Chain A
Amino acid sequence: MRDKKVTNKTFVMTAVIGSLLIMTLVTVKTLRFSKQTVMATDKAVSAVSSFYLEAMADRRAKTITNLISNSYDQMEKAVDFIRDENIGSQEELREKIGKVKGLLGLKRFALVDEDDVVYTQYTTYTGRSRHPFLTDGQLNDRIISTVSLYGSSKQLFLAIPTPDLYIMGKHFKACFVQYDINDIVNLLAFDDNGRTYFALYSENGGNLSGTDLGPEIADRNLFDVLKDIVPDEVWAVHYDNFANETEGTLSFAFDDTYETLSYVPIEGTGWEMAVLIRESVIHEQFRDISDNNIENNRNLIIFTLVSAVTLAAVLLFMFHSLSRAKLEAEKENSNALRNMATTDSMTGVRNKHAYTENEALINGQIHSGELNKLAVIVCDVNGLKHVNDTKGHAAGDQLIKDACALLCEQFIHGAVFRIGGDEFVVLLQGKGYDKMDDVIAETNRMIEENIEKDRVVISIGYAVLEPGDKLLRDVFERADQMMYERKKELKAMGAMTRS
């Protein structure tokens, strides 16, 4: 199998393209899902609106049913209370009625005697014409009815028989309360930002609550309005539903406005609780939800994208840092190895290998003509064998170190190489080349002094690059020749030599 080398570039490209691909897929998928959600929502609106409205109407209807039930219980307790008070005068009766009225929070609480005289907290009046239930003679059961006060709002009327109630020696046959329907409506109202409308209707579609069932129907008779906007057979069905105290739902349109109406009967009252919503409102609500979902998804995608890019950037940065650290470490190792290969371990100056590398480099420069100042100084330490033989290799090594030190001190602007056991080469360019003569003269003077001091003696020969030289070797050989001449000269001065 052929292995492919994974480069940083490949890695980065793969990461970026992969991320973008994933993001694109996620985005497309999310948008498609959102659109499907909107479409499904739209399809569900009608069904949902019906359930929604029925639930709302039912909840409100139950509130009224509970109010009626509680009122009957309270009336029974109120009658028991009054019966137990042994009331002896009309003033006392009014006071007790007022007390009950206050406790029950009623606007009207009244007792009716056997002559159909009605007793309230402040008035006593003959009531047969005012309260139709009194014209029916004997009252045997609870009564629920709707009454319309002359010029006033409509009221819910609840009465109970009081067969055992006697006050001031007179039989009282009934007790009744009246609720202003406007007050009941206030119990039912809740803030839904005007999205739905509700109203109470009598069995013939008359608006009892005075509340607007939307801007089109308003507080008009429901069936008077519907007659013009729904088919006759539909109208008849719902008219019968009202008459038979059953529930129903219908949708209709006013111009371009579609509305859904649900109604439920309120037990025992003959009323229908109707709730209306404009379908456009439902659509808007669901559309708002969908828009929110899309917005959330979009934000999620952006967040994911940003997170992924950030993560990738961090990972790339970390990868890059690691690579660079590794590279630098390798470079350091390489430099160390390289130094080890080019440095003389005894003296610390560059060795024969380094000199060979430099020689190749310089040869190239000579060949290209870009080098014109070059001097090669060939040095040979005198008497090394003698020292080794007479004083030991350690002394010999020290001699070499001393020689190297002397050369490094003197040829501070030159490159010192140890190319053999007792052989050094110094290459001079630039400033070292310019001061070459003085430095060599000084060095030779010091060496000559060292003869007498029995210190390190170095034979130095030198040559400069001359026209016609093609290789460093050419210069080296002239310098080497001169070094031998100098060695002889130093021997003549008393310096130790191999021979």
Chain B
Amino acid sequence: MKHNGNINGNIKIILLSGLAAMFVFSACSSAAYDTGRDNSGNNSWDTGGYNSGDNSGYNSADNSVTTGTQQTVDESGEEVSAESAVDFDHELDTYEPKKRAYNFYFTYKTVHPWWDAVALGMEEAQRQYLDKGITITYEYMAPEGASAEDQIQKLHTAQEKNYDVIGVDVADEEIISPVLDEMVDSGVKVMTFSSSDAAEGCKRLAYVGNTHNYRDGADLTRALCEKLGYKGKVAVLVGSKGAPCHEDRAKGAEDTIAQYGDMEIVAKEYDMDSVDLAYDLTMQILKDCPDLDGIICCNMSNPVGAARAITQMESHAVIVGMDHDEEALRYLDEGVIYCLGVQDCYSIGFDTIQTAVKIADGNPAGDLYPEKKDESTTLIYQKDAALILELLYGEI
């Protein structure tokens, strides 16, 4: 996870994001994180985050460290800009598709703005293919609430149709992974994307998304601990039970807290990706533990619900959380939330379509696309909030 730093007056997304990608890419060779899941040693490319392909285990010798002034530097000492949190400047690579038209099906965990950002990256890739004379059509479907059963139903329905590739953001790795294996065995080309990969050993052909959820959870927690002086009571809010990304982050948080003797986890709750439930859970935690010092939020809805409750209860608990929900960014701007980990959803969407085209053409993972394509996460702080708000949501 990159930690954000300085904000310049002008938004120079393209250049800075490119530079940031170069910095981090150059850091990949010495990446020292292990999510605990990504140790297969398969082809694993890194386009901005950390190389989860190595299996060196969690290593505090992070190549991107958070300083006491909330600035982020990479291992070469270069500061990383908040503008590089999301890379909107993408161009298709030089691969020449074999067909003139492709039809894909994608299903993701739940209807949520996070995946809308992924969709915009997909649409940009689709537009660029269209400029090259290649028509990409696809469905991008999700249930109202995260549900592995609903996802299985959607996959079975899609399997009956002749899609070139079916992409899945795994709702529950234990339940969905076997289904994906069956589909692959029956000849369906299946890939995973966005926030959650399938279980280790799943036969899916590739994954494009965050491969370092464990580390994201650990980085957020370390920022919180530093803020609290490595002492205090904290709660952990998680999203959907079984969702790999949420669980991995929670694991990273728990392991990090465990490193500090004066830190204590007093509660761990699942909001099932519901802001309202996150609010209710936080209210209850605060009632149970009024002197709560911090909350670690592992998904997009957690920090919003937690911030609402903290505000209402006038608690001084420090919130760290994931993602770029607009309300969460406003709480960050107001100082209610201490820091947020912003994933590059746009790049995830763009790269997903590119990878799907190559899979559809029958190319195996390897030279043309990695078996796991990592996307970056950037920690942003209060000073970055206005810029990111303008960048992602604009001022209306």
Which A residues fall within an 8 A CB radius of B? Answer: 94, 117, 122-126, 128-130, 146-154, 202, 204, 206-208, 221
Contact B396 A202 (CB under 8 A): yes
A151 and B347 alpha carbons, distance in the complex (Å): 12
Residue on B with the closest CB to A224?
B395
A-contact 0/1 string along B86-120, CB 8 Å cutoff? 10100000000000000000000001110111011
A-B pairs with beta carbons under 8 Å apart, 29 shown: A94-B137, A122-B126, A122-B130, A123-B119, A123-B123, A123-B126, A124-B138, A124-B140, A125-B139, A126-B111, A128-B111, A129-B112, A129-B116, A130-B116, A148-B396, A150-B120, A150-B346, A150-B392, A151-B13, A151-B86, A151-B120, A151-B391, A152-B120, A153-B394, A202-B395, A202-B396, A206-B395, A206-B396, A221-B395
Residue on A with the closest CB to B394?
A148
A94 and B216 alpha carbons, distance in the complex (Å): 40
Given pairs A117-B141, A128-B144, 10 additional interface contacts (CB within 8 A): A122-B126, A123-B119, A123-B137, A126-B140, A148-B393, A149-B394, A152-B88, A154-B396, A202-B395, A204-B395
Interface presence of B135 (CB below 8 A): yes
Residue on A with the closest CB to B324?
A150
Also in contact, A151 and B396, with CB within 8 A (given A125-B140, A129-B111): no
A153 and B124 alpha carbons, distance in the complex (Å): 13
A123, A146, A151, A202 pick with most chain B CB within 10 angstroms: A151
A151 and B126 alpha carbons, distance in the complex (Å): 17
Residue on A with the closest CB to B139?
A124
Contact A150 B396 (CB under 8 A): no
A206 and B394 alpha carbons, distance in the complex (Å): 9
CB < 8 Å neighbour of B88 from A129, A151, A206 = A151
Interface presence of B136 (CB below 8 A): yes
Also in contact, A125 and B137, with CB within 8 A (given A146-B396, A151-B120, A207-B395): no
- The distance from the CB of A124 to the nearest CB of chain B, in whole angstroms, is 4
Contact A208 B396 (CB under 8 A): yes
A-contact 0/1 string along B190-234, CB 8 Å cutoff? 000000000000000000000000000000000000000000000
Interface presence of B142 (CB below 8 A): yes
- B139 contacts across to A, CB distance below 8 A: 123-125
The count of A-to-B residue pairs whose CB atoms sit within 8 angstroms is 76
Tell me what chain A mostly uses at the interface: helix, strand, loop, or mixed.
Answer: loop
Residue on B with the closest CB to A146?
B396
A-contact 0/1 string along B139-152, CB 8 Å cutoff? 11110100000000
Residue on A with the closest CB to B136?
A122
A132 and B195 alpha carbons, distance in the complex (Å): 23
Residue on A with the closest CB to B87?
A151
Residue on B with the closest CB to A125?
B140
A153 and B392 alpha carbons, distance in the complex (Å): 10
A221 and B395 alpha carbons, distance in the complex (Å): 8
A152 and B13 alpha carbons, distance in the complex (Å): 11
Contact B396 A125 (CB under 8 A): no
Instruction: Please report which residues of chain B, range 161-207, place their CB below 8 angstroms from some CB of chain A when the two chains form the complex.
Output: none
- The distance from the CB of B267 to the nearest CB of chain A, in whole angstroms, is 28
Contact A151 B346 (CB under 8 A): yes
- A151 contacts across to B, CB distance below 8 A: 13, 86, 88, 117, 120, 346, 391-392
Residue on B with the closest CB to A108?
B123
- B116 contacts across to A, CB distance below 8 A: 129-130, 150
CB < 8 Å neighbour of B142 from A126, A207, A208 = A126
A126 and B86 alpha carbons, distance in the complex (Å): 23
A204 and B346 alpha carbons, distance in the complex (Å): 28
Also in contact, A150 and B117, with CB within 8 A (given A126-B111, A202-B395, A206-B396): yes
Contact A124 B141 (CB under 8 A): yes
A123, A126, A154, A221 pick with most chain B CB within 10 angstroms: A126
- A129 contacts across to B, CB distance below 8 A: 111-113, 115-116
A129 and B393 alpha carbons, distance in the complex (Å): 14
A489 and B136 alpha carbons, distance in the complex (Å): 154
- A122 contacts across to B, CB distance below 8 A: 123, 126, 130, 135-138
Residue on B with the closest CB to A204?
B395
- A117 contacts across to B, CB distance below 8 A: 141
Contact B113 A126 (CB under 8 A): no
Contact B394 A154 (CB under 8 A): yes
- A202 contacts across to B, CB distance below 8 A: 395-396
CB < 8 Å neighbour of A125 from B117, B119, B136 = B119
A202 and B136 alpha carbons, distance in the complex (Å): 35
B140, B141, B144 pick with most chain A CB within 10 angstroms: B140
CB < 8 Å neighbour of A130 from B119, B345, B346 = B119
- B137 contacts across to A, CB distance below 8 A: 94, 122-123
Contact B138 A123 (CB under 8 A): yes
- A153 contacts across to B, CB distance below 8 A: 394
Also in contact, A123 and B391, with CB within 8 A (given A129-B111, A151-B88, A206-B396): no
Residue on B with the closest CB to A119?
B139
A123 and B142 alpha carbons, distance in the complex (Å): 14
A94 and B103 alpha carbons, distance in the complex (Å): 12
A25 and B105 alpha carbons, distance in the complex (Å): 89
- The distance from the CB of A243 to the nearest CB of chain B, in whole angstroms, is 14
A-contact 0/1 string along B5-33, CB 8 Å cutoff? 00000000100000000000000000000
Residue on A with the closest CB to B345?
A150
A125, A129, A152 pick with most chain B CB within 10 angstroms: A125
Residue on A with the closest CB to B129?
A122
- The distance from the CB of A87 to the nearest CB of chain B, in whole angstroms, is 16
A122 and B140 alpha carbons, distance in the complex (Å): 11
- The distance from the CB of A485 to the nearest CB of chain B, in whole angstroms, is 138
A153 and B391 alpha carbons, distance in the complex (Å): 9
CB < 8 Å neighbour of B141 from A126, A146, A147, A206 = A126
- The distance from the CB of B239 to the nearest CB of chain A, in whole angstroms, is 15
A-contact 0/1 string along B381-396, CB 8 Å cutoff? 0000000000111111
Residue on A with the closest CB to B116?
A130
- B394 contacts across to A, CB distance below 8 A: 148-149, 153-154, 206
- B395 contacts across to A, CB distance below 8 A: 148, 202, 204, 206-207, 221
- The distance from the CB of A375 to the nearest CB of chain B, in whole angstroms, is 122
- B138 contacts across to A, CB distance below 8 A: 122-124
A207 and B115 alpha carbons, distance in the complex (Å): 27
- A154 contacts across to B, CB distance below 8 A: 394, 396
Contact B141 A125 (CB under 8 A): yes
- A125 contacts across to B, CB distance below 8 A: 119, 139-141
- A130 contacts across to B, CB distance below 8 A: 113, 116, 119
- B123 contacts across to A, CB distance below 8 A: 122-123
A242 and B344 alpha carbons, distance in the complex (Å): 35
A115 and B7 alpha carbons, distance in the complex (Å): 41
- B391 contacts across to A, CB distance below 8 A: 151
Instruction: Please report which residues of chain B, range 352-396, place their CB below 8 angstroms from some CB of chain A when the two chains form the complex.
Output: 391-396
